[in-house]
Amino acid sequence: MTEQGSGRDRLRELLDAVLADPSGPEHGGPDLDAMAGRAFASPFHFSRQLRRGTGESPVAMRRRVVLERAAHQLGRGSSVTDAALAAGYESVEGFARAFARAFGHPPSQVPAAAAGTGRTDHWLPAPNGIHFHPPSSLWVDAGAAERPVDVVTDLMVAHDLADSRALLEQVAGLDDQALRHVHLPGTAVTPWDGEEGSVAAVLDHLVWSREVWLAAVDGADTPDRSADDPAALLARHDAVAPRWRALWRDVDRRGAWDDVLVDALCDPPESFVLGSVLAHCLTFGAHRRQLARLLLRLGGHHGPALDPTADPIMWLRAADPGAPA
Protein backbone atom coordinates (compact mmCIF):
# COMPACT_ATOMS: atom_id res chain seq x y z
CA MET A 1 0.00 0.00 0.00
CA THR A 2 2.78 2.40 -0.95
CA GLU A 3 1.43 5.65 -2.44
CA GLN A 4 2.72 6.15 -5.97
CA GLY A 5 5.36 8.86 -6.29
CA SER A 6 5.54 9.49 -2.55
CA GLY A 7 7.65 6.59 -1.32
CA ARG A 8 5.29 6.38 1.67
CA ASP A 9 4.21 3.02 3.04
CA ARG A 10 0.64 3.90 3.95
CA LEU A 11 -0.09 0.54 5.55
CA ARG A 12 2.94 0.98 7.80
CA GLU A 13 1.65 4.43 8.78
CA LEU A 14 -1.78 2.98 9.59
CA LEU A 15 -0.22 0.24 11.70
CA ASP A 16 1.91 2.79 13.55
CA ALA A 17 -1.25 4.77 14.31
CA VAL A 18 -3.01 1.67 15.64
CA LEU A 19 -0.14 0.45 17.77
CA ALA A 20 1.24 3.67 19.24
CA ASP A 21 2.29 3.41 22.88
CA PRO A 22 -0.87 2.71 24.91
CA SER A 23 0.65 3.42 28.31
CA GLY A 24 -0.89 6.82 28.94
CA PRO A 25 -4.05 8.81 28.22
CA GLU A 26 -2.04 11.32 26.21
CA HIS A 27 -1.70 8.65 23.53
CA GLY A 28 -5.43 8.31 23.06
CA GLY A 29 -5.59 4.65 24.04
CA PRO A 30 -7.54 2.32 21.76
CA ASP A 31 -10.12 4.97 20.83
CA LEU A 32 -10.83 4.90 17.09
CA ASP A 33 -10.93 8.69 16.78
CA ALA A 34 -7.52 8.97 18.42
CA MET A 35 -6.02 6.32 16.16
CA ALA A 36 -7.47 7.96 13.05
CA GLY A 37 -6.13 11.32 14.19
CA ARG A 38 -2.62 9.91 14.48
CA ALA A 39 -2.96 8.69 10.88
CA PHE A 40 -4.33 12.06 9.69
CA ALA A 41 -7.52 10.44 8.46
CA SER A 42 -11.19 10.37 9.33
CA PRO A 43 -12.33 7.39 11.44
CA PHE A 44 -14.34 6.06 8.48
CA HIS A 45 -11.48 6.16 5.98
CA PHE A 46 -8.96 4.98 8.57
CA SER A 47 -11.05 1.89 9.37
CA ARG A 48 -11.74 1.16 5.72
CA GLN A 49 -8.08 1.44 4.69
CA LEU A 50 -6.81 -0.73 7.53
CA ARG A 51 -9.47 -3.40 7.08
CA ARG A 52 -8.79 -3.50 3.35
CA GLY A 53 -5.06 -3.89 3.97
CA THR A 54 -5.20 -6.36 6.88
CA GLY A 55 -8.68 -7.90 7.12
CA GLU A 56 -8.96 -6.66 10.72
CA SER A 57 -10.53 -3.61 12.34
CA PRO A 58 -8.25 -1.09 14.07
CA VAL A 59 -9.70 -1.68 17.54
CA ALA A 60 -9.55 -5.48 17.21
CA MET A 61 -5.96 -5.40 15.96
CA ARG A 62 -4.82 -3.08 18.70
CA ARG A 63 -6.48 -5.16 21.42
CA ARG A 64 -4.93 -8.37 20.06
CA VAL A 65 -1.38 -7.09 19.58
CA VAL A 66 -1.37 -5.34 22.97
CA LEU A 67 -2.47 -8.61 24.62
CA GLU A 68 0.28 -10.47 22.73
CA ARG A 69 2.79 -7.99 24.12
CA ALA A 70 1.36 -8.48 27.61
CA ALA A 71 1.67 -12.28 27.30
CA HIS A 72 5.29 -11.87 26.24
CA GLN A 73 5.96 -9.64 29.24
CA LEU A 74 4.17 -11.96 31.68
CA GLY A 75 6.11 -14.94 30.39
CA ARG A 76 9.31 -13.11 31.19
CA GLY A 77 8.50 -12.17 34.75
CA SER A 78 6.31 -9.07 34.60
CA SER A 79 3.60 -8.76 37.25
CA VAL A 80 -0.04 -8.79 36.15
CA THR A 81 -0.46 -5.22 37.40
CA ASP A 82 2.53 -3.94 35.43
CA ALA A 83 1.36 -5.78 32.29
CA ALA A 84 -2.13 -4.31 32.65
CA LEU A 85 -0.81 -0.78 33.03
CA ALA A 86 1.58 -1.20 30.10
CA ALA A 87 -1.34 -2.43 27.99
CA GLY A 88 -3.29 0.74 28.77
CA TYR A 89 -6.05 -0.91 30.81
CA GLU A 90 -7.70 1.20 33.51
CA SER A 91 -8.10 -1.77 35.85
CA VAL A 92 -6.35 -5.08 36.44
CA GLU A 93 -9.77 -6.78 36.45
CA GLY A 94 -10.61 -5.52 32.96
CA PHE A 95 -7.21 -6.64 31.70
CA ALA A 96 -7.62 -10.07 33.30
CA ARG A 97 -11.02 -10.58 31.65
CA ALA A 98 -9.71 -9.62 28.23
CA PHE A 99 -6.57 -11.75 28.64
CA ALA A 100 -8.52 -14.82 29.80
CA ARG A 101 -10.92 -14.53 26.90
CA ALA A 102 -8.05 -14.29 24.41
CA PHE A 103 -5.68 -16.92 25.80
CA GLY A 104 -8.00 -19.30 27.63
CA HIS A 105 -6.39 -18.83 31.05
CA PRO A 106 -5.88 -15.92 33.48
CA PRO A 107 -2.77 -13.76 33.16
CA SER A 108 -1.61 -15.11 36.54
CA GLN A 109 -1.33 -18.56 34.97
CA VAL A 110 0.85 -17.88 31.94
CA PRO A 111 2.28 -21.33 31.13
CA ALA A 112 5.95 -22.10 31.48
CA ALA A 113 6.22 -22.43 27.70
CA ALA A 114 5.59 -18.69 27.42
CA ALA A 115 8.89 -18.08 29.15
CA GLY A 116 10.76 -19.78 26.33
CA THR A 117 12.57 -18.17 23.46
CA GLY A 118 10.18 -19.02 20.63
CA ARG A 119 8.84 -16.00 18.82
CA THR A 120 5.31 -17.42 18.44
CA ASP A 121 4.54 -18.55 21.98
CA HIS A 122 2.62 -15.34 22.73
CA TRP A 123 0.77 -15.02 19.41
CA LEU A 124 -3.02 -15.02 19.10
CA PRO A 125 -4.93 -16.02 15.94
CA ALA A 126 -4.83 -13.27 13.33
CA PRO A 127 -6.35 -12.97 9.85
CA ASN A 128 -3.24 -11.22 8.51
CA GLY A 129 -0.13 -12.69 10.15
CA ILE A 130 0.62 -9.40 11.95
CA HIS A 131 1.87 -10.04 15.49
CA PHE A 132 3.82 -8.40 18.28
CA HIS A 133 7.53 -9.10 18.01
CA PRO A 134 9.79 -8.18 20.95
CA PRO A 135 11.03 -5.86 22.07
CA SER A 136 8.63 -3.37 20.47
CA SER A 137 8.05 -4.18 16.81
CA LEU A 138 5.80 -6.28 14.60
CA TRP A 139 6.29 -9.54 12.76
CA VAL A 140 4.32 -10.49 9.67
CA ASP A 141 3.94 -14.26 9.39
CA ALA A 142 3.47 -14.74 5.64
CA GLY A 143 2.15 -18.27 6.04
CA ALA A 144 -0.58 -17.18 8.43
CA ALA A 145 -1.46 -14.20 6.28
CA GLU A 146 -2.42 -16.49 3.42
CA ARG A 147 -5.32 -18.06 5.31
CA PRO A 148 -7.77 -16.49 7.80
CA VAL A 149 -7.90 -17.97 11.28
CA ASP A 150 -11.08 -19.81 12.25
CA VAL A 151 -11.98 -17.50 15.11
CA VAL A 152 -15.24 -19.38 15.80
CA THR A 153 -13.37 -22.62 16.47
CA ASP A 154 -10.92 -20.80 18.73
CA LEU A 155 -13.81 -19.34 20.75
CA MET A 156 -15.44 -22.76 21.06
CA VAL A 157 -12.23 -24.22 22.49
CA ALA A 158 -11.86 -21.23 24.82
CA HIS A 159 -15.42 -21.61 26.09
CA ASP A 160 -14.95 -25.36 26.61
CA LEU A 161 -11.91 -24.69 28.80
CA ALA A 162 -13.39 -21.73 30.67
CA ASP A 163 -16.63 -23.56 31.43
CA SER A 164 -14.69 -26.60 32.63
CA ARG A 165 -12.68 -24.43 35.00
CA ALA A 166 -15.84 -22.77 36.34
CA LEU A 167 -17.22 -26.19 37.27
CA LEU A 168 -13.94 -27.27 38.88
CA GLU A 169 -13.94 -24.09 40.95
CA GLN A 170 -17.57 -24.76 41.90
CA VAL A 171 -16.80 -28.15 43.44
CA ALA A 172 -13.73 -26.94 45.37
CA GLY A 173 -15.64 -26.80 48.65
CA LEU A 174 -17.47 -30.13 48.38
CA ASP A 175 -16.57 -33.01 50.64
CA ASP A 176 -15.56 -36.42 49.35
CA GLN A 177 -18.96 -37.98 49.91
CA ALA A 178 -20.72 -35.32 47.84
CA LEU A 179 -18.20 -35.71 45.03
CA ARG A 180 -18.32 -39.50 44.86
CA HIS A 181 -21.99 -40.20 45.52
CA VAL A 182 -23.41 -42.08 42.51
CA HIS A 183 -26.65 -40.31 41.63
CA LEU A 184 -27.19 -42.04 38.29
CA PRO A 185 -25.98 -45.68 38.39
CA GLY A 186 -25.07 -47.06 34.99
CA THR A 187 -24.58 -43.66 33.36
CA ALA A 188 -21.84 -43.76 30.70
CA VAL A 189 -20.85 -40.94 28.35
CA THR A 190 -18.88 -43.26 26.05
CA PRO A 191 -18.89 -47.07 26.08
CA TRP A 192 -15.11 -47.28 26.52
CA ASP A 193 -14.78 -44.93 29.52
CA GLY A 194 -16.96 -46.79 31.99
CA GLU A 195 -19.63 -45.42 34.30
CA GLU A 196 -19.74 -41.73 35.14
CA GLY A 197 -22.55 -41.47 37.68
CA SER A 198 -20.72 -39.24 40.18
CA VAL A 199 -19.43 -35.68 39.97
CA ALA A 200 -15.86 -36.84 40.61
CA ALA A 201 -15.98 -39.41 37.79
CA VAL A 202 -17.41 -36.96 35.26
CA LEU A 203 -14.92 -34.17 36.02
CA ASP A 204 -11.99 -36.59 36.08
CA HIS A 205 -12.94 -37.87 32.62
CA LEU A 206 -13.39 -34.27 31.42
CA VAL A 207 -9.78 -33.40 32.30
CA TRP A 208 -8.35 -36.81 31.42
CA SER A 209 -9.69 -36.73 27.86
CA ARG A 210 -7.53 -33.69 27.08
CA GLU A 211 -4.50 -35.10 28.86
CA VAL A 212 -4.57 -38.36 26.94
CA TRP A 213 -5.26 -36.77 23.53
CA LEU A 214 -2.34 -34.39 24.02
CA ALA A 215 -0.11 -37.36 24.85
CA ALA A 216 -1.28 -39.10 21.67
CA VAL A 217 -0.54 -36.03 19.54
CA ASP A 218 2.88 -35.60 21.17
CA GLY A 219 3.71 -39.31 20.79
CA ALA A 220 4.19 -39.53 24.55
CA ASP A 221 3.35 -42.35 26.96
CA THR A 222 -0.02 -42.51 28.66
CA PRO A 223 0.07 -39.67 31.21
CA ASP A 224 -0.22 -40.16 34.95
CA ARG A 225 -3.90 -39.77 35.77
CA SER A 226 -3.02 -38.46 39.22
CA ALA A 227 -5.55 -37.66 41.96
CA ASP A 228 -9.14 -36.62 41.34
CA ASP A 229 -9.88 -34.49 44.40
CA PRO A 230 -11.01 -30.93 43.56
CA ALA A 231 -7.60 -29.30 44.09
CA ALA A 232 -5.83 -31.93 42.01
CA LEU A 233 -8.40 -31.74 39.21
CA LEU A 234 -8.08 -27.97 39.07
CA ALA A 235 -4.29 -28.21 38.96
CA ARG A 236 -4.47 -30.82 36.20
CA HIS A 237 -6.86 -28.64 34.22
CA ASP A 238 -4.65 -25.56 34.57
CA ALA A 239 -1.64 -27.56 33.39
CA VAL A 240 -3.36 -28.93 30.32
CA ALA A 241 -5.56 -25.98 29.26
CA PRO A 242 -2.93 -23.69 27.65
CA ARG A 243 -1.35 -26.65 25.83
CA TRP A 244 -4.75 -27.76 24.61
CA ARG A 245 -5.65 -24.39 23.15
CA ALA A 246 -2.18 -23.99 21.65
CA LEU A 247 -2.55 -27.37 19.91
CA TRP A 248 -5.70 -26.37 18.03
CA ARG A 249 -4.35 -22.94 17.18
CA ASP A 250 -1.31 -24.59 15.66
CA VAL A 251 -3.48 -27.06 13.72
CA ASP A 252 -5.54 -24.16 12.40
CA ARG A 253 -2.47 -22.05 11.57
CA ARG A 254 -1.06 -24.93 9.51
CA GLY A 255 -4.39 -25.85 7.95
CA ALA A 256 -3.83 -29.35 9.30
CA TRP A 257 -7.44 -30.29 10.07
CA ASP A 258 -7.30 -33.23 7.65
CA ASP A 259 -3.99 -34.56 8.96
CA VAL A 260 -4.18 -38.07 10.36
CA LEU A 261 -2.97 -38.97 13.84
CA VAL A 262 -1.98 -42.58 14.47
CA ASP A 263 -2.73 -43.03 18.17
CA ALA A 264 -0.26 -45.57 19.53
CA LEU A 265 -1.91 -45.35 22.97
CA CYS A 266 -4.84 -47.34 21.59
CA ASP A 267 -4.56 -51.12 21.61
CA PRO A 268 -4.30 -51.82 18.74
CA PRO A 269 -3.15 -48.42 17.40
CA GLU A 270 -5.89 -46.46 15.66
CA SER A 271 -5.86 -43.53 13.23
CA PHE A 272 -7.91 -40.33 13.66
CA VAL A 273 -8.37 -37.21 11.54
CA LEU A 274 -7.36 -34.20 13.66
CA GLY A 275 -10.53 -32.28 12.87
CA SER A 276 -12.62 -35.20 14.10
CA VAL A 277 -10.61 -35.34 17.33
CA LEU A 278 -11.55 -31.75 18.18
CA ALA A 279 -15.18 -32.34 17.22
CA HIS A 280 -15.21 -35.44 19.44
CA CYS A 281 -13.71 -33.57 22.40
CA LEU A 282 -16.01 -30.55 22.10
CA THR A 283 -19.08 -32.80 21.80
CA PHE A 284 -18.34 -35.04 24.76
CA GLY A 285 -16.84 -32.18 26.76
CA ALA A 286 -20.17 -30.32 26.51
CA HIS A 287 -22.00 -33.53 27.43
CA ARG A 288 -19.87 -34.03 30.53
CA ARG A 289 -20.16 -30.43 31.66
CA GLN A 290 -23.94 -30.58 31.50
CA LEU A 291 -23.97 -34.00 33.16
CA ALA A 292 -21.84 -32.62 36.01
CA ARG A 293 -24.33 -29.78 36.46
CA LEU A 294 -27.20 -32.26 36.62
CA LEU A 295 -25.42 -34.41 39.20
CA LEU A 296 -24.60 -31.38 41.33
CA ARG A 297 -28.20 -30.21 41.27
CA LEU A 298 -29.39 -33.71 42.16
CA GLY A 299 -27.11 -33.46 45.20
CA GLY A 300 -28.78 -30.22 46.23
CA HIS A 301 -25.87 -27.97 45.33
CA HIS A 302 -26.28 -24.47 43.96
CA GLY A 303 -23.96 -21.84 42.56
CA PRO A 304 -23.26 -19.56 39.59
CA ALA A 305 -21.53 -22.33 37.62
CA LEU A 306 -24.64 -24.51 37.78
CA ASP A 307 -26.67 -22.47 35.33
CA PRO A 308 -28.26 -25.29 33.31
CA THR A 309 -27.72 -23.51 30.01
CA ALA A 310 -24.02 -22.56 30.39
CA ASP A 311 -24.70 -20.37 27.38
CA PRO A 312 -21.56 -19.39 25.44
CA ILE A 313 -23.26 -16.09 24.60
CA MET A 314 -23.46 -15.22 28.28
CA TRP A 315 -19.87 -16.39 28.77
CA LEU A 316 -18.61 -14.12 26.00
CA ARG A 317 -20.50 -11.13 27.38
CA ALA A 318 -19.10 -11.73 30.87
CA ALA A 319 -15.57 -12.21 29.55
CA ASP A 320 -15.63 -8.96 27.58
CA PRO A 321 -18.64 -6.73 28.29
CA GLY A 322 -17.68 -4.48 25.40
CA ALA A 323 -17.64 -7.24 22.79
CA PRO A 324 -20.61 -7.82 20.47
CA ALA A 325 -22.35 -11.13 21.14
Name which residue leads in pLDDT, 131 or 119. 131
Cβ burial of 94 (10 Å; 0-12, 13-18, 19+) is middle
Indicate the range of 166-180, 223-237, 307-321 predicted with least confidence: 307-321
CA-based torsion, 147, 55, 246, 309: positive or negative: negative
Indicate the range of 112-121, 134-143, 180-189, 310-319 predicted with least confidence: 112-121
Cβ burial of 29 (10 Å; 0-12, 13-18, 19+) is middle
Give DSSP secondary structure letters for 35-80.
Answer: HHHHTTS-HHHHHHHHHHHHSS-HHHHHHHHHHHHHHHHHTTT--H
Domains of the chain: residue spans and CATH: 10-145 (1.10.10.60), 151-319 (1.20.120.450)
**pTM above the 0.75 mark?**
no
